[in-house]
Amino acid sequence: MKMFLKSEWAERDTRIDVVNPFNGEAFDTVPEATPADVTAAVDGLVEGAKVMRAMTALERCEILRKAATLMRARVDEIGTLISTEEGKILAEGKLEVSRAAETIDLSADEARRITGEVLPLDAAPGGAGKLGFTLRVPVGIVAAITPFNFPLNLVAHKLGPAIAGGNAVLIKPATDTPLSALKLVEILLEAGLPPEAIACLTGPGSSIGAAICTDDRIRKITFTGSVEVGKAICRAAGLKRVTMELGSNSPLIVLDDADLAKVTTATVATGFANAGQVCISCQRVIATPGIHDNLLDELQPLVAGLTAGDQLAEGTNVGPLVRESDATRVADWVREASTNGARLLCGGEREGAVVQPALLADVSPDMRLSCDELFGPAVGVTRAANIDEAIALANDTPYGLSAGIFTENLDAALRFTREVDCGNLHINWGPMWRADLMPYGGLKDSGLGKEGPKYAIEEMTETKMVVIHGQ
């Protein structure tokens, strides 16, 4: 495919292969953008920002509404594209298209709800006769930098609110998965978005990231990706607003009174979806002694029964990782943990980019499999003496994105919500669950700011205060 800037689809001589991670075959190419392309794209978006600022909320809503309808009509085609470039199984690829359409639809709803507030200025000393109100205005140009693992929906979570808020937007999708983002640009243009209001540049963040982050005409950077890159972007961004949706090694606490069948279902569903490449994947199960052994006995056959392989084939539960190098890293971390005393109950073997889903017991908190973000199909189980130790282990991490607890005890569940330092907390489910309308975002090193169209729009608009000085 081509990239899009200055109202045109553009080719470049240097092109990057887009590869199916299961078989390593290149099935398309995209241009490799340069820092000069970033400058040119932003030149175009300066004009686009003026057009967007003049557009009514109703017009923005209608464009987004139409885009959502167009997406829903192309679920099979775009779902297959997502699966082919990213590696998730077809059912997950199609689900992502439906969710992305929902995200764009929610953005359409929110475009009509951007309001200010009236302030009782006569409540202030010297405020008699005065009336105050706030206006929310677009920031101007938003830059959106996205990761590989949800190559459509995480792009929708940035483009939808940016457009709803009346901004022009530059999108830089992940190098490995640029096609889904380019499809969304195609659809937004078809839905009536002014072409000067959007640009999509393809290429590695290492070569064009700095040019994006240091361009002062960009007023807001919204980033989803790793902590390391997030910190580098914050250092480069200077006086720009930033939203950072970063990584995690999410815990699931299982107390003695938990419903075992529900725990095993949730652990498989939240630990192995998208081959564990979800920022809120269940990575660490922390179980108390009364349930620990039974949990391992029930979980092991379910994990061992998952079929890993070609993401496009019927019957596959777990596809490849996005790159073979990631599969090698995941298999190494599993091997390293078992060498250092963890019990490998199943999985961990690698073939190409596919890693067999793994379950490990006796995982200690200092193993990389536990203390770093794994982003792969393995779940480690750790024993905790009681809820105090379970909460301490859950919090023993620089991350704070999402956590779950299974218990029938309301007091224990409420204590978990108060004491576990994460942006999203799930009672009687694993850490991986998201409705696209929720405020979503991490604490600690997992990030800054919230997504979900309503909340992202707040971060992509600015407040002006107006005072009418009546007599």
Which residue in 61, 200, 213, 279 is the catalytic one? 279
Please select the residue that binds ligand NAD; options are 67, 152, 246, 331, rule is CB under 6 A.
246
- Answer yes or no whether residue 370 interacts with ligand NAD by CB under 6 A: no
Q: For residue 399, which of 230, 223, 176 has the smallest C-alpha distance?
A: 230
The amino acid sitting at 268 is: V
The one segment of 19-27, 241-249, 330-338, 354-362 that binds ligand NAD by CB under 6 A: 241-249
Please select the residue that binds ligand NAD; options are 32, 92, 245, 436, rule is CB under 6 A.
245
Beta pairing class for 220-224 and 241-245: parallel
Closer residue to ligand NAD in complex, CB, 157/350: 157
- 59 catalytically annotated: no
d(CA 458, CA 308): 41
The one segment of 60-68, 82-90, 123-131, 148-156 that binds ligand NAD by CB under 6 A: 148-156
- Answer yes or no whether residue 155 interacts with ligand NAD by CB under 6 A: no
Closer residue to ligand NAD in complex, CB, 51/425: 425
- Answer yes or no whether residue 209 interacts with ligand NAD by CB under 6 A: yes
Task: Give 418-426's long-range contacts (Cβ < 8 A, gap of 24+).
Answer: 419/391, 419/395, 420/251, 420/253, 420/391, 420/394, 420/395, 421/395, 422/250, 422/446, 423/447, 423/450, 424/280, 426/402
Say how many residues make up the chain: 471
The one segment of 69-77, 92-100, 246-254, 382-390 that binds ligand NAD by CB under 6 A: 246-254
d(CA 22, CA 25): 8
- 279 catalytically annotated: yes
Q: 165, 138 in Cβ contact below 8 A?
A: yes
- Answer yes or no whether residue 300 interacts with ligand NAD by CB under 6 A: no
Please select the residue that binds ligand NAD; options are 14, 23, 56, 206, rule is CB under 6 A.
206
d(CA 306, CA 59): 47
Closer residue to ligand NAD in complex, CB, 165/423: 423
Q: 18, 166 in Cβ contact below 8 A?
A: no
Residue owning tokens 């297959």: 80
What the block records as the tokens of 357 is 């889903």
The one segment of 93-101, 167-175, 301-309, 311-319 that binds ligand NAD by CB under 6 A: 167-175
- Answer yes or no whether residue 373 interacts with ligand NAD by CB under 6 A: yes
| Longest CA–CA separation in the chain, Å | 80
Contacts of 268 (CB under 8 A, 6+ apart): 299, 302, 303, 306
> What's the closest the beta carbon of residue 448 comes to ligand NAD, in angstroms?
11
What the block records as the tokens of 358 is 């793994």
- Answer yes or no whether residue 229 interacts with ligand NAD by CB under 6 A: yes
- Answer yes or no whether residue 279 interacts with ligand NAD by CB under 6 A: yes
Count of residues that interact with ligand NAD, criterion CB under 6 A = 30
Catalytic center residues: 245, 279
Which residues make up the interface to ligand NAD (CB under 6 A)?
145-149, 154, 172, 174-175, 204-206, 209, 213, 224-226, 229, 232-233, 245-248, 279, 373, 375, 401, 442, 447
